[in-house]
Structure 1
């Protein structure tokens, strides 16, 4: 499987899993979602906010990179400057932003070429440090980051008494003949 094909598998998987996470989280009260559970970002809602803030930061960087300018529409979305930025105080406010980002990610990845993913991306970290990374590596990080923190959220949801169900990427991989 090429890197591009891998990203084209990961983008819909990412959206599918985010939908499952949000559907499951909606079974909890606002208080349960905001309860500090001693996780990296405190609560279930805090962790979900972190994922949205991080994606907005990353896609803001990508939108500012000349080859990708115009391919990424972030109009009307928050512009966090920190991965701890609270994008929304409640799940109901966060979900539509998450869904828009997921559609944006799928559309962006679907429009990429092998040459695009070999592009070097110049950006600054949130602490101002200049970085220079290949887009394929950045996309790998973005998808891995999502998986990492969604794993934390599924644990927190399970501890809160709700089950996300099947989370395996394998569920979206078709059988071969």
Structure 2
């Protein structure tokens, strides 16, 4: 499997898991979603907001790639987080709508990339304004890993609140192959 095919798998996994997490979250009351549960981002809602804010920040950076005009245009109306802990929405419904839009943008972006695009050196500044330049593919791996890390936190918080998101393993989306 090519590196690009792996990223396409991660984009599918991302959307699949977000659907499961948001479906479980929708079973909770607004008070339960906002309850401080002692997590790094205190509540389920705060953690979901963080994932969306982080995605917007990174997608905006990725859109600077010369071949990502469509992604740049797609993000034109997205919120512009000033901090990774910023509460984009105080309720689940608009956050869920944004999540669906972002997952669509992620899938479209990854589908439009080519293997040579992954070798691009992306120059960007972090949230504190410190400049960096790193390999596009490595930053994409960080991007997908970041989502998985915080969704793991959310799935734990949801389970503690009585909602089981079910299977969360990437393995569920990996096709069987003939061992011969």
Q: CA RMSD in A?
A: 1.0
Alignment of 1:1-177 (within 5 A): 1-72=1-72, 73-177=74-178
Post-superposition shift, 1:5? 1.1
1:74-108 CA distances to partner (integer Å, 9 max, x unpaired)?
Answer: 12210112101111111111001011000100110
1:100-127 CA distances to partner (integer Å, 9 max, x unpaired)?
Answer: 0001001100111111011010000010
- Cα distance in structure 2, aligned partners of 1:172 and 1:163: 19
Count of aligned pairs between the two proteins: 177
Instruction: Please list every run of 5 or more consecutive structure 2 residues that lacks an aligned counterpart in the other structure.
Output: none
Instruction: Please list every run of 5 or more consecutive structure 1 residues that lacks an aligned counterpart in the other structure.
Output: none
Q: Secondary structure of 1:133's match?
A: strand
TM superposition score normalised by structure 1: 0.96
Post-superposition shift, 1:70? 3.4
Does the 8 A contact of 1:61 with 1:123 survive in 2? Answer: yes
Q: Secondary structure of 2:76's match?
A: coil
Deviation >4 Å, runs of 4+: none
Post-superposition shift, 1:141? 0.3
1:29-58 CA distances to partner (integer Å, 9 max, x unpaired)?
Answer: 000000001111100000000000000011
Does the 8 A contact of 1:12 with 1:106 survive in 2? Answer: yes
TM superposition score normalised by structure 2: 0.95
- Cα distance in structure 2, aligned partners of 1:109 and 1:32: 35
Does the 8 A contact of 1:65 with 1:122 survive in 2? Answer: no
